Structure 1
Amino acid sequence: MIESAKATRVAAVLTAAAAVAVALGLRALLSGDVTSTGALEQNSGTALYASAVYAAVVFLRPAARPLTAGAWALGWCWAVELAQLTPVPRTLSGQSILLRLIFGNAFDWTDVCWYPVGIVPLVLAHHALRRTRTGPGDQET
């Protein structure tokens, strides 16, 4: 179990790093600016942000079932998006580029729809990996 948790955490870190790298890479390639607001940059960044959040949930709770981790990740993403209806994220975002990438600065219904796009594929992949690791007839814990 300890080895499994360690491997899961390593995979979560690699997944989060890949999501962030792809998001920033797309922005740099498409516009030359990581703060670009183009539609492709914004939507892909939103989905990849959600992927990184999913990876963070799995890192913190490696034994979490994929649907549970997905629900927590989606809940976090939607909570951050709803918080953007207040001035708090905008204030935090003004302090650094990192905080802007984490908290954003303006509510957008489009983002609400793009979060599942980043989470669902990881839930499915996580479920498939757990099923492969435990075997089809074994019970998951």
Structure 2
Amino acid sequence: MPRWITAPAALLTVAAGLGVRALWDGPVAKYAGDALYTVLIYLLIVFILPRVRPWAAALVSAGLSWVIEFAQLAGIPAVLRPVLGSTFNPPDLFWYAVGAALAGAVHMLAEHLPK
């Protein structure tokens, strides 16, 4: 996927995450934010490696999100908590997978659009 697509998509993802948190409260905002967090990681992977296969980017982005979540069990340094979180929450793992799957599906569909 070309970088001229992934860079604005990453910015839109950040805006969507901030918007969800600003407009809603509770579990909807939290879990949408979790999924969008993984979508952002997905887009960063695709930005760095534009020829990466969607399934590989999805697995890596979900895996990185899971590693960060499990790292919260050991404790995240205070300076990194605004970005990486501070409290392990098992349902987050599911929503990271949802975000990675959705990003991978959109990427696969985009690859099959006529050029």
Q: Which residue number corresponds to residue 57 of structure 1?
A: 45
Is 1:83 aligned with 2:77? Answer: no
| TM-score, with structure 1 as normaliser | 0.74
Query: Are the aligned partners of 2:72 and 2:85 in contact in 1 as well (CA < 8 Å)?
Result: yes
Q: Structure 1: where are the runs of 5+ without partners?
A: 32-37, 94-98, 135-141
Displacement of 1:79 in angstroms is 0.6
Deviations 1:102-129 (A, max 9, x none): 2011111010010121121221121122
Partner of 1:20: 14
Superposition CA RMSD, Å: 1.7
Structure exhibiting the larger radius of gyration computed from Cα positions = 1
Q: Distance in 2 between matches of 1:54 and 1:75?
A: 10
Q: Which residue of 1 aligns with 2:91?
A: 110
Amino acid at match of 1:63: R
Q: Aligned-pair distance for 1:90? A: 4.7
Moved over 6 A (4+): none
Tell me by how many angstroms 1:92 deviates.
Answer: 2.9
Higher relative contact order (CA 8 A, sep 6+): 2
What is the CA-CA distance between 1:46 and the residue it aligns to?
A: 0.3
CA distance in 1: counterparts of 2:40 and 2:73, whole angstroms: 23
Please say which of residues 125-134 and 16-25 is displaced more in the overlay: 125-134
* Deviation of the 1:91 alpha carbon: 2.2
After TM superposition, the structure 1 = structure 2 runs for residues 4-15 of structure 1, keeping only pairs within 5 Å, are 8-15=2-9
Separation of aligned partners in 2, 1:66 and 1:17? 19
Q: Which residue of the other structure, out of 35, 39, 55, is the alignment partner of 2:27?
A: 39
Structure 2 gaps, min length 5: none
- The TM-score, its normalising length taken from structure 2, stands at 0.90
DSSP-derived class of the 1:122 partner? helix
